[in-house]
Every structure is written in structure tokens, then in C-alpha cells.
Amino acid sequence: MDFQDLLAYQKGFKLAMKIFEVTKSFRSEEKFALIDQIRRSSRSVCVNIGEGYRKRRYPSHFISKLSDADMENSETQIWLKFALECGYISEDLYNELDQNAKEVGKLIGFMISNPGKFSSPRNKK
């Protein structure tokens, strides 16, 4: 199994790509503010999951990287709320994206609570 097979990674990647597409329609003045921030945080979720998975034989490091992924996911939710309040996305789209982020958060939370289920074969006895 590879990190790309993890459901949290797959859903996180799908959300990041949806955010990428949605932010193309934001005002250009937001390029170095809201657009950059929300794209960066949503992508960082996947990056941290991937990095953590590669270090899964070290549970403390694995959990630390997953905690970073969870933090980035929360940041994404905050930027989504700003996008809604600034009128860049509809309430329906906000609800959809926020719900997707919540699902990713639950999956990351499960991984944090159950690191042994994801440990490398070398660590399983």
C-alpha cells in the first residue's frame, strides 16, 4: 500500500483540486492573499499525509505529521469561511467543501488514534 491509496489522502487531494478550480474565479487582487493561502493549506494536507506515511515505522513522527495535516485542514476550513463571507463562493458550495474538509478531518483523526493500523510491515508482529 502506498500513501496515495489512503482514503484521507484521496479525499484531501480531491478537495485541494476542487479548491484550485474554484479559486480560479476569485478576484485577481486575492492572488497573493486568499487564493494563495487556501490553495497552500489544502495542498499541505496531502503533503503531510504523504510525508507521515513514509515515516510510519516511527509512530511519534507519523502522528506528528498527521497532526500537521489536521492543522492544515482546519486552516483550509477557515479560508473557506472567508471565501464565503467575501462573496467568492455560494453558501451551497461552501457547505459542500466544508463537509468534504470535515470528512478528511475525521479520517485523519482516525489515523492519529490508530497509528498501528498504518504501521509498516516491518513493525507488525
Q: Is residue 87 part of a domain?
A: yes
In a domain, 125, yes or no: no
Evaluate whether residue 119 is within a structural domain. no
Q: Establish if 22 belongs to a structural domain.
A: yes
On whether the pTM is more than 0.75, the answer is yes
**87 Ramachandran zone, left/alpha/beta (phi>0; psi -120 to 50):** left
The answer to whether residue 28 is domain-embedded is yes
- What average pLDDT score do residues 42-57 get? 96
Count of structural domains, the chain = 1
> Domain of 80?
3-114
Query: Which one has a higher pLDDT value, 122 or 39?
Result: 39
Average pLDDT, the chain: 94
88 located within any domain: yes
Of the candidates 49, 41, 52, 53, the one whose C-alpha atom is nearest the C-alpha of residue 16 is 41
Query: What's the mean pLDDT in 38-44?
Result: 98
- Is 31 among the domain residues? yes
Determine the pLDDT at residue 1.
Answer: 84
CA distances (Å), origin 89, targets 1, 77, 79, 81: 36, 13, 11, 9
Euclidean distance between the first and final Cα of the chain, in Å?
18
Model confidence over 83-103: pLDDT tens digits?
999 999 999 999 999 999 999
Residue 79: give its domain's CATH number. Answer: 1.20.1440.60
Residue 77 within any structural domain of the chain: yes
